[in-house]
Amino acid sequence: MPGAARPLGIANPAAKKRRHILYVDAYDSFSNSIVGLLEQSLGATVTTVRIDDTTAYENFTTILKAFDAVVVGPGPGHPANPNDVGLINQLWSLGSDDLLPVFGICLGFQSLCLAHGASIQRLRQARHGIISTISHNRTDIFRNITNLRATQYHSLCAVLGDHSSNSAQLQWQTNDQCPEIQPLAWDIEDETNGSILMAARHTGKPFWGVQFHPESICTSEEGIELLQRWWVQAEEWLAFRSRVVAHNRTTALNYISSAAITVTARDKIKHTMQDQNRSATLSLAETIQLSTGSHTPTLQWAAHFASCLSPIVLAEALGLDRDDIILLDSQNHSMGRFSMLGVVVPGETVKITYRSWDRTLRYGNGSGNEQVVQLRSIDQTWPIFQEVLDLHDPKKQRQYRGFNSTDEDFPYESPFWGGLMGYISYEAGLETIGVEPHESVAESSIPDINFAFIPRSVVIDHATGKTYIQSLLPNDSAWIAHVGQTLKNLTRERELVSESRTARGGIEVSRELREGLEMEKRLSLSQIRTPEEQNYRNKVLRCQDSLAAGDSYELCLTDETLIEVPSIDARGLNAWALYKKLRHTNPAPYGAYLQLSNATVVGTSPERFLKWDREGNCQFRPIKGTVKKSAMMTREAAHEILNSSKEQAENLMIVDLIRHDLSGVIGAERCSVTKLMSVEEYEHVYQLVSVIEGQLPKSNRDEGPTGLDVLKASLPPGSMTGAPKKRSCEILRDIEQRPRGIYSGVLGYLDVGGAGDFSVVIRTALRDASTPEGSTRMARDVDTSGDSTPHSNFEYTPSNTSPRYPSPSASVREVDFVSHESTETWRIGAGGAVTIQSTDEGEFLEMETKVMTALTVFQSK
Ligand SMILES: C=C(O[C@@H]1C=C(C(=O)O)C=C[C@H]1O)C(=O)O
Ligand SMILES: NC(=O)CC[C@H](N)C(=O)O
C-alpha cells in the first residue's frame, strides 16, 4: 500500500502562461480530487461543468472556445446512456475548428472508446477500489513511466475488436474495428477478467484517456507524471494548431451553471443571505438573546481538577438527567477524550428544528411562542446557524470592543464553550445533494435538523482530568459556583469511598436500582422485529446488480430493527437508564444521550464523522471494514481479514470519497490522509479506520470557509452511502424503501468559538417521539410489507427463548407482532458496505453483528 499523505509535483506552472481546463463532472465522488490534481500538477485553472447542465449543453462549442483543454471525469452509469454522459458526447464530434485536447478518465475514457468503434462490456468481476500494475510500452503519455500502480473503479470496460479481454497477447496497434483508437496500456493482473484496456489515444485527434483513477490516494506518484506527460502533448498540439482561447471568457463562463462552478470556487464561499433569511436569523438571534438575557456575548467559566469523573455521575449529582440534558459522552474510551453536558432548561432553552420534507424552520423556547419560517431549501439554514454562532462568539465580541484577547481569556483546551448541540438526519443530507427522500418520510414527526442552543455546559477532559464549567449567560457565577461545589463534593466523596457509584449515598443508589428494575420489567415485555434474512440477502444481491452494471462502486445497505416497548402504568421507557445500560454494554468514543423535539437518541457510535478545531484543523475518521469479535477471532485473525483486498477496497473507496468532499471546500492541496486503513478494537467488533485531515484557509472567518461549510458539503456521511454518493443514495432509497431518519445522520455540536465535532449516528437506539416519564403514546403502525420478522434469529442471543425472541420455528407473521395499546417504538438501524466482493450471507451476518451492539440493551437481565 503506498504511503498516506503525498505531496504533489508542480509542472513548473510559472514557465508558461496560465492555461484553462474545463472539467466535465459526471456526478462522481472523486471529481474534486481530480480538479485539485489538475490545478496542482499542471498549474492550470480548472472550471467545472456538470454533464446535465442544459445551458452549457446548448452553448458547448462557445464554452469550449474559452478553454485550452477538457478533462472528462469518471462517473456512474454506462457511456451509451445519454443521461449518464450528457454533454460529453459532443466532444467526440467537434469540427476541426473547434477541436481541443481532451483527457478522459474512466467513464470519460469509455465514452471516448465507444464513440470510436469500441464495444463496452461488463467485466466478469467489477473492479472497485482495486490497485494493480499498469502494463504499457513506455510510449506517448507513458514515456518514462516505469512502475505505475493505479486504483480502478469500474464495472465496464472498453473492448477494441479482436483484442478483447482475455487475449494472451497485448496489442499496441489499432485494429479494423477501432482504426482510430491506439491502445497505450493494459491491466494483465486480473485472471478473472483477462487483460483489460487501461489507456488509449486517438490517432488523429488530440484525445487521450485512462481507465484507472490517477487521483486515488493509492495510485502511485507516477499518476501525476502521466497527467503531466499528457499536458506536454496537449501543449504541443495547441502550439502546432496555434490555438488560443477566446478573449471574451466571461460570456462563455456565463453559460455554465454556478452550482457546478462552486465546486472549485471555494475562495468565494461566503455566507450570503437572502432577505428572508436575514430576518429569520435576526429574530432567531433575538429569541436566543432574550432567552440568555444578554446582547453582549460573554463567556464565564471555571476549571476544576476531578480525575476519572464520569459525566453520568456528575449529571445525576446535578439533577440534570432525562429531559434537561444533552450528553456527548466519550465514555473515557481510549479513542475519546472529552465528554460534554449541555444543559437544556425547559421553557428557556431555544430549540431550532428544520424539516426537509416541507422546508420549515421552527424555533422557540417551548413556552408557546414557536416561530415558523418557510425556507426554499436547506441551503438557507447554514448561514442562519453560522450567524447565531458568530453573534455569540465571545472572542469576536472582544475584538469589536477593542480588547486584546489573550489565551488566558478563554479555556482554549475546552472544545465546546456553548452553542448548538443536536443532530442532522440522513434525509437532510440527501437534500444537500439533491436526492429526493423516500416518500414515507412525510409520515415522520422527527425533525431533520434538531439543535438546541446551549448556553450552559460542562466539559470533562478525560486526558487531563480538567473539568470546565462554562456559561454564555451574563452574571451566571452562581450556577458556575454551584456546579463547582458539586464537583468538589463528588471528588471528596470519592476520596472517602473508592467506589464512586456507591459513594453518592443511599438515595441515588436506591433510585438507580428502582429505575433499573422498572426498565428491565418493561424490556422483558418488549417485542423485537429484526430484518428478515432472505429479504436482506435479496437486497444485497440487488445492490450487487447495480454494482455490476456500473451504477455504483460501493453501496452501504442498511435496514432497521424495531423494538416495541409497552408502557406500564402509562409511563414510557426511561431513556436515561437505557443509555446507562448501553454505555456499559457497548462503550464507544461517541456515546450520546439526547432528548429533543420529538426525538430520543441513545447511542454508542464508534465513528467520528468530522471534527474541526478553532484553528481550522479538520478531521474525518471513516470506518469501513468490520469483523465481529469472538473467542476464535483473535486480533491477528482480524488483522488478516481486514487486510484482505475486499475490506481494503471498501475502505479505500470511502477515503477517496471523503478526500473529494473535503477538497471541494478547502482545496485538494490542503487535504491529506494521515492514517490509511488501521485496525481498531471496540467492544464487540474490530474496525478498519482511516483518517483524512485538512486545514481551513487561515482567512478571516467571515470570508473564508468554516467548519460548518465542510460539514454541509460532506453530508450525508460517505461511509453510510457508498460511492459515487448521489447515485448510490438514489439506488439505496429504492432498495431500502424507507427513510433512515437520524440513523446514518450526524450528531454533535457547533461551538460559538468556532469548533465542531460530529459522529456518525450508528449503533444507536432511536425513539420516534419523546415519551417523558409519565406520558405514553400509541404504537406506530407496524410495517406489514413482510420485510421484517417479529423475532430474532440471532444465534448467539442468550435470551432466544424469551418472549421477545420467539424461536425461528415460530416463524410468525406480522400479526403476531402485537402492538400494545400503549407502546413506544424504538429503532436501531444497521447495515454495511456492499461491494462486488461481498456475499449476501456475509453481509447479513455483518448487519446482525452491528445491530446487536445496541440491541442487547433491550434484552432484560
Ligand atoms: C452501517 C453501519 O456502519 C457503517 C458501515 C461499516 C462497514 O461497512 O464496515 C462500518 C462503520 C459504519 O460506517 C452500521 O453500523 O449500521
Ligand atoms: N469510475 C468510473 O467512471 C466508472 C465508469 C462506469 N460506470 C463503470 O463502472 O465502468
Taking only the tens place, the pLDDT of each residue in 458-497 is 999 999 999 999 999 988 999 999 999 999 999 887 765 5
ipTM above 0.90, yes or no: yes
Say what the pTM is: 0.90
pLDDT of residue 804: 26
Give me the pLDDT at residue 262, please.
44
What is the number of the ligand closest to the CA of 156?
2
- Mean pLDDT across the stretch 204-220? 97
For ligand 2, atom 3: residue with the closest CA: 74
Q: For residue 597, what is the DSSP state?
A: T
Q: Could you tell me the distance, in angstroms and rounded to a whole number, from the CA of residue 556 to the centre of ligand 1?
A: 8
Distance 550 CA to ligand 2 centre (A): 5
Is pLDDT of 63 > 70? yes
Looking at residue 1, its amino acid is M
Strand partners for 47: 22
The mean per-residue pLDDT over the stretch 764-771 comes to: 78
Residues with CB under 6 A from ligand 1: 556, 558, 607, 623-626, 719-720, 760, 762-763, 829-833, 850
Residue to mutate, 543, 626, 845, ligand 1, most ligand atoms under 8 Å from C-beta = 626
Atom of ligand 1 nearest to the CA of 622: 13
Q: What distance in angstroms lies between residue 401's CA and the mean position of ligand 2's atoms? A: 56
Mean pLDDT of 64-88: 97
Count of CA atoms in the C-beta half-sphere (13 A) of 284:
29
Query: For residue 724, which atom of ligand 2 is closest to its CA?
Result: 1
Evaluate if residue 819 carries a pLDDT over 50. no
Measured from the Cα of 109, ligand 2's closest atom is 3
DSSP one-letter string for 465-522: TEEEEEE-STT-HHHHHHHHHHHHHHHHHHHHSS-HHHHTHHHHHHHHHHHHHHHHHH
> Which CATH code fits 18-265?
3.40.50.880
**What's the CA-to-centroid distance between 617 and ligand 1, angstroms?**
25
Are 595 and 775 contacting, i.e. CB atoms less than 8 angstroms apart? no
Distance from CA of residue 812 to its chain's centroid?
37
Ligand of minimum distance to the alpha carbon of 586: 1
Atom of ligand 1 nearest to the CA of 717: 13
**Which listed ligand is nearest to 211 at the C-alpha?**
2
Closest by CA position to 647, among listed 393, 369, 833:
833
Q: Which ligand is nearest to the CA of 80?
A: 2
Which secondary structure element, helix H or strand E, spans residue 284, and what is its range?
A: helix 275-292
Mean pLDDT (whole number) for 317-346: 89
Residues of the chain above pLDDT 90, percent? 69
Q: Which of 471, 480, 468, 484 is nearest to 293 (CA)?
A: 471
Arithmetic mean of pLDDT over the chain: 86
Asked whether residue 762 carries a pLDDT value surpassing 60, the answer given is yes
CB-count burial class (<10 Å; 0-12, 13-18, 19+) for 168: exposed
> 348: how many CB neighbours lie within 10 A of its CB?
16
Give ligand 2 pocket residues (Cβ under 6 A). 74-77, 106-107, 110, 153-156, 550
Task: Indicate which atom in ligand 2 lies nearest the CA of residue 74.
Answer: 3
- The answer to whether the CB of 844 falls within 8 A of the CB of 557 is no
Q: Which of 621, 654, 720, 732 to mutate to test the pocket of ligand 1 (most atoms within 8 A of CB)?
A: 720
Average pLDDT over residues 12-17: 55
Rounded to an integer, what distance in angstroms lies between the CA atom of residue 853 and that of residue 839?
Answer: 22
Asked if residue 716 has a cis previous peptide bond (ω within 30° of 0), the answer is: yes
Q: What is the pLDDT of residue 258?
A: 62
Closest atom of ligand 1 to CA, residue 830:
16
* Grid cell at residue 789: 420478522
